[in-house]
């Protein structure tokens, strides 16, 4: 058996599918620190990219993995959590963030939300970033 040469990859050089796989693996590693085992879904199931089962045997989360902060009308009422990374990992209950965002920001009046039914941003604005602090997970190494 030959030795494998381990060489770190550069995220920016990955294609979209490879980035999604990479992000899932990183998120799964962080969630393991909180007692969750994850299972990747081959097809979005009720809006979820993966399932996170807690070791308590009762908590089961449907999670949508995003590359940035995002909310979407199509996820409303589906009990979805959204997991994304911006310097550190965040995981938030989608409907709670929609309600807070529409009440406390002008995102609800944007073309993206009104006409396209979703809103996303790579760097959350300060007011939103402050609110997101309570959904921050420990950064992965």
Q: What is the CATH classification number for the domain harbouring 84?
A: 3.40.1350
Angle at 107 between CA 102 and CA 112, to 5 degrees: 125
The pLDDT, as a whole number, for residue 139 is 59
Q: Environment class of residue 92 by beta-carbon count within 10 Å: exposed (0-12), middle (13-18) or buried (19+)?
A: buried
Angstrom distance (rounded) from CA 111 to CA 131: 23
List of long-range contacts for 5-13, beta carbons under 8 Å, 24+ apart: none
Angle at 137 between CA 109 and CA 95, to 5 degrees: 35
Q: Which residues of the chain have pLDDT under 50?
A: 140-141
- Residue 2 forms part of a structural domain: no
For the chain, the domain total comes to 1
- Residue 6 forms part of a structural domain: no
């Amino acid at each position: 058996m030959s030795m494998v040469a381990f060489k770190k990859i550069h995220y920016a050089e990955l294609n979209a599918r490879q980035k999604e796989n990479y992000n899932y693996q990183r998120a799964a590693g962080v969630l393991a620190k909180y007692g969750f085992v994850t299972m990747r879904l081959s097809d979005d199931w009720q809006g979820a990219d993966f399932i996170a089962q807690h070791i308590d045997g009762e908590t089961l989360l449907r999670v949508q993995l995003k590359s940035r902060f995002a909310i979407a009308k199509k996820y409303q009422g589906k009990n979805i959590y959204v997991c994304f990374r911006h310097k550190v990992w965040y995981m938030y209950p989608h409907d709670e963030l929609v309600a807070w965002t529409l009440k406390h920001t002008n995102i609800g009046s944007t073309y993206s939300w009104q006409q396209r039914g979703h809103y996303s941003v790579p760097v959350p604005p300060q007011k939103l970033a402050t609110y997101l602090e309570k959904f921050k997970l420990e950064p992965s190494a």
